[in-house]
Structure 1
Amino acid sequence: MTYTGDVTPGGAPAVRELDRLTITKVSVGPMDNNAYLLRCRDSGEQVLIDAANEASRLLDLVGDGGLTAVVTTHRHRDHWVALAEVVAKTGARPLVHADDAEGLPIDAEPLRDGDTVPVGDCALEVIHLKGHTPGSIALLYRDPSGVPHLFTGDSLFPGGVGNTHQDPAAFASLIDDVERKLFDRLPDETWFYPGHGKDSTLGAERPALPQWRARGW
């Protein structure tokens, strides 16, 4: 089945099989948050991005394969409601950017820009995108035999950057980071997976960057 990234709360997950990594996207309620389970196809090791809610559903996805880490993309509550339970039941390492660590319900290991999160034989690059929160991050997987894959949390969506609550300084920081660290570095075919809703590619969104900057959100 062709991967589209279209998921709904309570619905079936969407699964994407890359050569070395399997990406499983699921939407959890009540706020239609996306969670992503990444599995190294060689070692079977798994990492979860955003234990947003519905711990039992997330644990069912993890199954008997175990979980090495849970990465929280930012400190907003709707992205970590299930974190404590998932960590307690799997023994996974909780990871979050150092600037958002105080917002989580449990102690987490700090991440910084440029760090690497292993997923078995694969690796995710941590990209700090300050603005939606002080410690918001994206996670980049460079597929050796395909296009880059980017997990953007609430910093980048189809149609714009994340909410900066009408704070001009926060918006300027976020749009600058998104443009410099994502659009200037990565090719148009880069597929990105946001914290809510549908996926997109950088190429589909790139023409609108001047409009986003001009409108201020």
Structure 2
Amino acid sequence: MTSLAIGNGLRLITTSVGPMDNNAYLLTDGSDALLIDAAAEPRVLLTLLDGLHLTGVVTTHRHRDHIQALAAVVAATGAPAYAGTPDAAAIAAATRVTCRSVWDGDTLAIGDAQLEVIGLVGHTPGSIALAHTPSDGPDRLFTGDSLFPGGVGKTTGGADFDSLLHDVTTKLFDRFDDATVVHPGHGADTTLGTERPHLEEWRVRRW
């Protein structure tokens, strides 16, 4: 588990949960908290939330390894759940948690900060990233399984790959600078500057 200040009064706590080592991200501002991906091990996540007011749980996409603790966390805290519009119904069917649909242009608040929702179609139809753009530090992107160190997330066909690479290129790389930190759904952080030189390589290899 790690904890660090990420600008505009927010702190970021990162912990790895479940057999697939999913990253769960907890953003806090004072006693308010926002959880990104209640992936697994609800007892671990609820321990992190002890003494905090959970204002929402954001699910980056509908795959099973990212939603296994969602129902337990929502039941214990009463916090609203959010998911990308095209994935919301599938998440509700799998977890019996009704998610508030969000997509491009929507924002989620934590303290005085606003996190921008960015839809990234391809890994799933409704995958989303969240962008934190503080005035006193680098921008940060919570990308779920859409962008990792070394490439975009897994896709099931050529059209899905083309869609995901297009969205990642135009909505992330074309908008945010090289110092932008990427917090993926699994594994280590990276930056857009580290990954940018490899975009054409990804396009050619098709993954």
TM-score (norm 1): 0.92
Instruction: Report the counterpart of residue 23 of structure 1 in structure 2.
Output: 12
Report the CA distance between 1:45 and its aligned residue: 1.1
Residue in structure 1 matching 2:154, options 155, 163, 166: 163
Contact 1:40–1:119, Cα closer than 8 Å, also in 2: yes
Say yes or no: does 1:172 pair with 2:159.
no
Query: Distance between the aligned counterparts of 1:37 and 1:189, measured in 2?
Result: 21
User: In percent, how many aligned pairs have the same letter?
Assistant: 54
Say yes or no: does 1:88 pair with 2:75.
yes
Contact 1:136–1:155, Cα closer than 8 Å, also in 2: yes
Q: Secondary structure at the match of 1:176?
A: helix
**Unaligned stretches of 5+ in structure 1?**
1-12
Instruction: Report the counterpart of residue 26 of structure 2 in structure 1.
Output: 37
Query: Distance between the aligned counterparts of 1:47 and 1:18, measured in 2?
Result: 14
Q: Deviations over 1:126-162 (max 9, x none)?
A: 0000000000000000011111011000000000000
**Match runs of 1:104-123 below 5 Å:** 104=91, 105=95, 106-123=97-114
Instruction: Report the counterpart of residue 99 of structure 1 in structure 2.
Output: 86
Contact 1:76–1:103, Cα closer than 8 Å, also in 2: no
Instruction: Report the counterpart of residue 75 of structure 1 in structure 2.
Output: 62
Report the CA distance between 1:18 and its aligned residue: 2.7
**Unaligned stretches of 5+ in structure 2?**
none
Report the CA distance between 1:63 and its aligned residue: 1.1
Query: Distance between the aligned counterparts of 2:99 and 2:168, measured in 1?
Result: 25
Partner amino acid, structure 1, of 2:28: R
Quote the RMSD (CA, aligned, Å): 0.8
Residue in structure 2 matching 1:202, options 181, 189, 192: 192
TM-score (norm 2): 0.96
Query: Distance between the aligned counterparts of 2:6 and 2:119, measured in 1?
Result: 25
Say yes or no: does 1:62 pair with 2:49.
yes
